[in-house]
C-alpha cells in the first residue's frame, strides 16, 4: 500500500447512532455549511440521483 493510502484518515461517516454528531465535526461541518451557502444562491438548483433521503444527518441539510 502506498504511504498516502496509509497516512490519510478516513473521511466517510458510517451509519451509526452517532452519525448526526459526526456531521458537526471537521471537515463535515465545513462541507455542509458550504453546501448550504451554495444552495442559498439565487437560481441555484440541486439535482439528486440515487439518494433515498433515509439519512437524516444529510437530509436535514437540504431544503425541503
Q: Which residue carries 448526526 as its cell?
A: 20
Q: Quickly list DSSP for 13-49.
A: --SSTTHHHHTTSTTHHHHHHHHHHHHTSTT------
Cβ 60 vs Cβ 23: under 8 Å = no
Return the H-helix or E-strand segment holding 3.
helix 3-7
In tens, the pLDDT along 9-51 reads: 666 777 788 888 888 888 888 988 998 899 899 999 888 888 7
Predicted confidence at residue 43, as pLDDT, reads 93
Amino acid at each position: 500500500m502506498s504511504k498516502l493510502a496509509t497516512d490519510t484518515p478516513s473521511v466517510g461517516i458510517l451509519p451509526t447512532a452517532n452519525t448526526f454528531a459526526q456531521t458537526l465535526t471537521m471537515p463535515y461541518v465545513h462541507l455542509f455549511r458550504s453546501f448550504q451557502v451554495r444552495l442559498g444562491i439565487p437560481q441555484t438548483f440541486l439535482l439528486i440521483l440515487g439518494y433515498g433521503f433515509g439519512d437524516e444527518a444529510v437530509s436535514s441539510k437540504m431544503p425541503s
